[in-house]
Amino acid sequence: MATNTVRLHRVLRTSPDKVYRAFVQPGAFERWLPPFGFVGKVHAMEPVVGGAWRMSFTNFGTGNSHSFGGKYLELVPGKRIAYDAAFDDANLPGTMKTTVVLTEVSCGTDVSVVQEGIPEMIPTEMCYLGWQESLVSLAQLVEPNIPG
């Protein structure tokens, strides 16, 4: 079975620690990860190496859902996150791996995302588009500097 990979890059106007927290706090993760038109729900999240996580996306228009989850492979606060994921749907076989590298730069944080092992039934360009939308939502969550 052939698998696909997407690579994304974005600079956010915030600290690496704030971006890292958006990946390991359930409320934040379900707020920004779903692509536009989907609602996310984190069902379990144990952000330690070897810890499990599980969530679902629900299409707001149709109400159809798909769930997925996996284990944390690497967690270096403010620097690196790696986790695997598999869909519960047998029509979407295999395990994906997502690696996120956070690098402090003069104006904020350089965010590099690589997702490997995308099931061949999911067009790579659709996954890429979904991640682009997710990163817009991530920026909206982490860039505001709201006092208090």
Over its length of 148 residues, how does the chain's per-residue pLDDT go in tens digits?
Answer: 446 999 999 999 999 999 999 999 999 999 999 999 999 999 999 999 999 999 999 999 999 999 999 999 999 999 999 999 999 999 889 999 999 999 999 999 999 999 999 998 899 999 999 999 999 999 999 999 999 8
The pLDDT, as a whole number, for residue 144 is 97
Decide if domain 4-142 falls under CATH 3.30.530.20: yes
- Give the DSSP letter string of 84-124: EEEESSTTS-S-EEEEEEEEEETTEEEEEEEEEEE-TTS-H
The pLDDT, as a whole number, for residue 1 is 42
The pLDDT, as a whole number, for residue 80 is 98
The pLDDT, as a whole number, for residue 148 is 87
Which residues are paired to 76 by β-bridges?
80
Quickly tell me which residue has 């997925």 as its tokens. Answer: 68
